[in-house]
Amino acid sequence: MAEVDGFGAQLWYGSTSAAYTAATANWTQVSEVTDITPPEEDVADIDTTHHGTSGKVKTYQAGLVEPGEVDVTFHYDKTVFGTLRGLRSTTQRYRILYSDGSGIGFEGYIKGISQEVDIEGLTVSKMKLKLSGDQTAITAVS
């Protein structure tokens, strides 16, 4: 499997009707992203142990999938920050695109957005996106 360079990763947002593979139509790029942590899915454990369970060992079955959250850091820009802050708690489509044009698409909402001043005196914005539903693999943007 070929390695995909992380440098050049992008975060885009669009309306809930935006096609994940559309080049730029209905999509807005979040500028100057410095860090993206993609979502980590987690499957809930359902305890199925009962008094007749063999060997007195707990048993489980898979439950619902928790789709996870995305953490994003980007250089502060008052216009971008204000726009994204205005989208808080509204469902949008998001996509993370990697340097080779592949990526993931998902629906979700901005769970939190903040500003921080880093050690070098730069103001950065941090945003947490909560996924709602499953991810869609993107193989290329056309």
**Inside any domain, residue 52:** no
74 touches 124 (CB < 8 A):
yes
Whether residue 50 lies inside any domain: the answer is no
Output phi, psi for 54, to 5 deg.
-65, 135
pTM: 0.87
Number of independent structural domains in the chain: 1
CATH number of 93's domain: 4.10.410.40
User: 87 to each of 12, 15, 90, how far by Cα in Å?
Assistant: 13, 11, 6
Residue 5 has pLDDT above 60, yes or no: yes
**92, two tokens:** 């949008």
Containing domain of residue 19, as a range? 10-41+68-138
- Whether residue 101 lies inside any domain: the answer is yes
Residues 126-141: what's their mean pLDDT?
Answer: 95
Dump pLDDT digits (tens) for 43-89: 999 999 999 998 999 999 999 999 999 999 999 999 999 999 999 99
The SS3 assignment for 38 reads: coil
- The whole-number pLDDT of residue 1 equals 47
